[in-house]
Amino acid sequence: MATHSSMVHVRMDTEMKQQATAALAAMGLTASEAVRLLFHRIAVDQAFPLELKVPNAQTRSAMAEIDEMVKSRAARFADADEMFAELEEASRQ
């Protein structure tokens, strides 16, 4: 079955478009992807979805750390026991 597509044309302030496009890029999305995602969630949920935000510095750091782990194919912990031990230590602080 062939998929049909159609265009959505939106008029908006140029400065708003530039700011939104920059924020979307920081989230790893294009404007077209964001609109498709928005429409998909609205159709599935029959409601306006929660807002997406640019990750804060701590989240960006964690994301970068994960990207490095994936690239190097090396885990941060040798095993689950080591991970839980660090989590317990961090919870005491």
* pLDDT tens, position by position, 45-90: 998 887 778 899 999 999 999 999 999 988 888 899 999 999 999 9
pTM (2 decimals)? 0.54
The Cα–Cα gap between 48 and 40 comes to 10
**Confidence (pLDDT) at 45:** 94
* pLDDT tens, position by position, 14-56: 999 999 999 999 999 999 999 999 999 999 999 888 777 889 9
**Confidence (pLDDT) at 2:** 65
The Cα–Cα gap between 6 and 40 comes to 14
Domain boundaries, the chain: 12-50, 55-93
The Cα–Cα gap between 65 and 72 comes to 11
Q: End-to-end CA distance of the chain, in Å? A: 58
Q: How confident is the model at residue 1 (pLDDT cuts 50, 70, 90)?
A: low
Q: Name the token pair of 45.
A: 């949920």
Residue 26's Cβ-side half-sphere holds a number of Cα atoms within 13 Å equal to 14
CATH architecture of 12-50: Orthogonal Bundle (1.10)
